[in-house]
Structure 1
Amino acid sequence: MFWKNRRNDFAHAKGNTISYPHVESFWLFLQSNLPKFVVNGGREFILQGIKNHFEPTRTPVGTTIVPIINKIKTSIDIVDYKEFLQKLMDFSKDYDSKHYSLIMNDNLANMWPSLFQLPEVYCDVLVDILISDPSFCLRILRAKHQIVQYFHRKSTFIRMLWKKDFDGESDYKVFVELLRYNIIPEDQLTEAYDHMLEHISPQIFDEENEWWFGEEVLLMKMIG
């Protein structure tokens, strides 16, 4: 609204003075918000940039996606972020289905955690979107188990994670992160230990498997 009024001052020869500080301020405003000035708006611009990133004919494999992610906070208003994430999730599921393996594709597995580097208000929306689709969220957690720390306020989701969703030895990696960040309430810890050991093979604690789990096995042994 401020710049619209200054434009009217200039166009209609109003009495308000337009001087160098106005021009410099407007130029800084344009620089700060440049990603928003694109066809179809900021959301579509960022989403298309991400799609191009996943297209090997356009972007070399191994190229970091962080520069694209960093544009989100200046290109997408928080009120539009949920819709953007839903579209991103739809794209991710489609991409994942075409490159399916037991562990999520590396490109996807690196992209979603990078979204947690945005300001906290964006992270809150991200967490809500991810827990709305537990199976997709679990695929991300299995690939990048450290990000489970961002779900610490979602007590129901966390309980369902270890009580219902964990079903393989690799899930011990996520479980250990829950312990590392004290996310499981103290009065549920014994139940959680017993459930994991009863329903998921404890063979990971054998010496020949420690090369894969390393620190996670040591922590579980210390816990007892």
Structure 2
Amino acid sequence: MIGWLFSSSGRCPFCDTPVRALPWAPVWEKICPYCRDGFSPVEPPYCRRCGRAGGEALCTDCRSHPYPELIQNWSAVSYTPHTREVIRLYKYLGRERYARPMGEMMVSVAARRGRKPDVISYVPLHPSRLAERGFNQSEQLARVIGKQWGVPVVSLLVRSSPTPPQSRRSRAERLRSMEGVFDLHPSIPAEKLVALNVLLVDDVYTTGATLGACARVLAEAGCRMVRSLTFAR
């Protein structure tokens, strides 16, 4: 009998449904069947640059992407209706406890696909948006990933100007709106970034405009390689 090994009080981190799983089990085994079925893990084949599932080796968008500084993006799951709702609850309704399972799902993908970066950073919010929301979801995810992976998390960027919500903008409008939005954090000496391998964290990769603009600032400061990791694509 090994029933005593299973956690009798385990609950799905997204909906609180009781789940039988070993305390040290991978995060996917701690998610209830309903929530697990709502997520669609990004598996091959996927675009080798942006990580879009089910596409060509290099998707149409990436063939004309204006941000070559962003070498590659990895994502944990596709942007399904269930994923969209989870992100909405997390970002806009304060379900901050979602950061841990989301971050664990993300690091499980990164650990399979590439070596550890030298440092992890994240997409910053403008101070006005941070005050409104109360937290930066990208920073929270980055800190979960950094703790899980044993990599330092550093605030490398600041958002120098606010941008309107991007959800209803076209790809071209999103790309234009990100020009000149980010700067190197004033506390970071540029010489400290030379030859660093950086992993940028955000919640969603849509057009790559936000992450690409961040990567450009870091590359111009001397970073050797900039990749990104998002929860959804």
Is TM (by shorter chain) over 0.5? Answer: no
TM-score, scaled to structure 2: 0.27
Larger radius of gyration between Structure 1 and Structure 2: 1
Pick 1 or 2: higher relative contact order, CA cutoff 8 A, min separation 6. 2
Q: Relative to total residues, which structure has the larger helix share, 1 or 2? A: 1
